[in-house]
Chain A
């Protein structure tokens, strides 16, 4: 039996191994990739049907339990974006670097980061607590977080632990402690320009604590190689509100995936944040109506 196994002989009727490849050395490249594909499929099937009983989270803002919707993966909810990410998900233990495209896009980048954090907190098995660290200087410059404003992005303000820190050095320390504590679903930090060493420490802390860290950096911050993914966010003019043509609708952003470990880069999408479903949706490119009308006129002549 032992020799048979080591030779990789298997009867064709024998069912495929469910979880562990018994002999990884057996076969050439073809059967091996086949096996890996099959394993990936079975793992994702397991993940989509969680075995344990989900904990009903309080619906943000109302205090009532919301509809049971616990994604088991940290996704965008928009298929094209998820398809570009390795394994169709964001890494839950690593650094995600988020930057505005220009100075004025700061709030948009923050909203994007918060939306991602909100999706992470609602994940099955994640702690519902978010840590949000910022410096006193940035709170003075662009304002401090306002509780009721977080609800739109799927974050319950009662579950946010905030720290306002005077010095950037202390903020890096606090974020590192938060990452290592394992008590948090996600860590969000608005860091001023950072040296390499703290970033390296944060990466290690995120790995050790198995907590994702969403880092908001300045638009001109130097590139670094520690992040699992790097995003650049640009605010876009929104579509009219469905019930009020003068008012602005759901927030829209252009997101550029500039760097992604194991993913396909660079990529650009235009997404809209739905504050009812707490998910991203792709924005269909607009037809140029003026242009189309001109064409129609030309045709009708």
Chain B
């Protein structure tokens, strides 16, 4: 399939090109049919083209936004098959194995695809064959749309030029010098003789690999844009749905179908994707995760409901698909004991909260192996399940609230190891009545080596002021070692209840 990036073409009659700066010269990267007819082809300098056609219209090419538009188009093409990907800067492939009958056969599928693309203003060329390489060749070098029957690649490609094999320019030049202009000629001559004609064994091997890939003799693996779903249910509508209620209703039906399928195979979904194909060429994709495997249609719906209500439906939605990406084994459902009921509803709560406020914002605290207080505890997203590490230690006592970063305070303290007697934090001065400490926490030298940032030992004190408010303060550095790394500094690190 080829797409010409002449999106803002003023009118069909005037020759129009897109130019791209290449070194110091502007070169033409795409040309409209009218320009092509005048002999202005991509790769020509813009100055040369202007000389041939003084009234040539020109616009700067934007490869980045072209690539973005192509990706958007590829997502939209997901309605024709789950496995697809971009192919170069101007093409994409779709694996329609076992899908064509849903569209009334291969011919009808290609016609539908081309018609819809033409409606969006995209000039497309399509080809369909048993191998990706053959389809590539048919789309670019044959009348569009053309279809190679199953196993009929040899016949379909025989009349196409050797350029259709995706060869390097040098290899094409060599083949042409040998008189091999058509793929059919190349496919029929004995290979042993061919090898002798090439300057090196590798060059010959590269040409034969491309030939074999096109004919389906050798496999050509390709990674799809998105991993294939485990289960997918899909609904297509003859008239587009324009109201979000209608879409919600359709999604509810799909969720029921999906959960029934999951129930049959004894699985539960951990991740689900809802895709809406809009009839104006856009797609809306919503993802939701579950912290515990689930096949409850109502729960699945609630995860999507809020975002679905605010989704941009454009000119209407004509295809909806609901797919599960991650599944886990989930035993047959039964009415269960209080304990599991509680755990299940906790998992649902986590899913709902994570779907709206973000998976990282809903968390449990987890212990980490470190003595440095701010490193000793981390946040673990609740979607990742319960923390498996050791339980947190009750001693030594720690503050209830810990500041994101220690805040410097002005202190009057005993030297060298005394507690603060009075300190000023956030413009208020507190007189210390009771104190406990110091608790010395040495820096982690192995980390210092890695980061090359030396840190100093800290002496922590738990102090209480006249009002009964309690603070966790520390002195960074020792008075004895002032000469080495400056005077020690005091900080508030936490608040105790």
Binding site for B on A (CB under 8 A): 55, 58, 60-63, 104-108, 110-112, 114, 127, 129, 131, 139-140, 142-153, 156-158, 160-166, 170, 173-174, 177-178, 181-184, 234-238, 240-241, 244, 246-248, 251-252
> Looking at the complex, which one of A164, A170, A251 makes contact with B497 (CB distance below 8 Å)?
A251
> Looking at the complex, which one of A55, A108, A145, A246 makes contact with B468 (CB distance below 8 Å)?
A108
Check if B365 sits within 8 Å of A160, measured CB to CB: yes
> Looking at the complex, which one of A63, A150, A161, A251 makes contact with B470 (CB distance below 8 Å)?
A251
What is the interface of chain B mostly: helix, strand, loop, or mixed?
mixed
Given that A107-B497, A237-B468 are contacting pairs, would A149 and B401 also be in contact in the complex, using a CB cutoff of 8 Å? yes
Of the listed stretches B8-16, B95-103, B274-282, B389-397, name the one at the interface; the rest are far from the partner chain.
Answer: B389-397
Q: For the A-B complex with A147-B365, A158-B392, A183-B344 known, give 16 more contacts whose Cβ atoms are closer than 8 Å.
A: A104-B467, A107-B401, A129-B342, A144-B401, A146-B399, A146-B402, A148-B393, A148-B398, A153-B497, A158-B364, A162-B379, A177-B349, A181-B346, A183-B342, A184-B349, A246-B436
Check if A161 sits within 8 Å of B342, measured CB to CB: no
Q: Which residues of A contact B382 (CB under 8 A)?
A: 161
Check if B464 sits within 8 Å of A145, measured CB to CB: no
A230 to B401, CA, bound (A): 23
Check if A162 sits within 8 Å of B365, measured CB to CB: yes
What are 6 A-B pairs at a CB distance below 8 A?
A: A104-B469, A143-B403, A146-B377, A150-B400, A158-B365, A241-B434
Check if B402 sits within 8 Å of A163, measured CB to CB: no
A252 to B434, CA, bound (A): 14
Q: Which of B365, B373, B428, B469 has the most CB of A within 10 A?
A: B365
Residue interface bits B249-270, CB-to-A below 8 A is 1, else 0:
0000000000000000000000
Q: Which residues of A contact B386 (CB under 8 A)?
A: 158
B27 within 8 A of A: no
Given that A177-B353, A235-B468, A236-B468 are contacting pairs, would A107 and B393 also be in contact in the complex, using a CB cutoff of 8 Å? no
Check if A62 sits within 8 Å of B349, measured CB to CB: no
Check if A105 sits within 8 Å of B364, measured CB to CB: no
Q: Which residues of A contact B116 (CB under 8 A)?
A: none
Q: Shortest beta-carbon distance, A156 to chain B, in Å?
A: 8
> Looking at the complex, which one of B390, B404, B470 makes contact with A248 (CB distance below 8 Å)?
B470
Check if B365 sits within 8 Å of A164, measured CB to CB: no
Of the listed stretches B18-26, B62-70, B192-200, B354-362, name the one at the interface; the rest are far from the partner chain.
Answer: B354-362
B369 within 8 A of A: no
Check if B466 sits within 8 Å of A237, measured CB to CB: yes
Interface bracket on B: 35 or more
A156 to B343, CA, bound (A): 17
Q: Which residues of B contact A161 (CB under 8 A)?
A: 346, 349-350, 362-364, 382
B462 within 8 A of A: yes
Given that A108-B468, A149-B399, A238-B464 are contacting pairs, would A177 and B352 also be in contact in the complex, using a CB cutoff of 8 Å? yes
Given that A108-B468, A158-B364, A177-B352 are contacting pairs, would A147 and B436 also be in contact in the complex, using a CB cutoff of 8 Å? no
B409 within 8 A of A: no
Find the A residue at minimum CB distance from B394: A61
A203 to B450, CA, bound (A): 52
> Looking at the complex, which one of B342, B356, B428, B497 makes contact with A108 (CB distance below 8 Å)?
B497
Find the B residue at minimum CB distance from A64: B391
A131 to B394, CA, bound (A): 21
Check if A62 sits within 8 Å of B400, measured CB to CB: no
Q: Shortest beta-carbon distance, B262 to chain A, in Å?
A: 23
A246 to B365, CA, bound (A): 32
Q: Shortest beta-carbon distance, A277 to chain B, in Å?
A: 14
Residue interface bits B393-428, CB-to-A below 8 A is 1, else 0:
110011111111000000000000000000000001
Residue interface bits B466-494, CB-to-A below 8 A is 1, else 0:
11111000000000000000000000001
Q: Which residues of B contact A160 (CB under 8 A)?
A: 364-365
Q: Which residues of A contact B401 (CB under 8 A)?
A: 107, 110, 142-146, 149
A189 to B15, CA, bound (A): 66
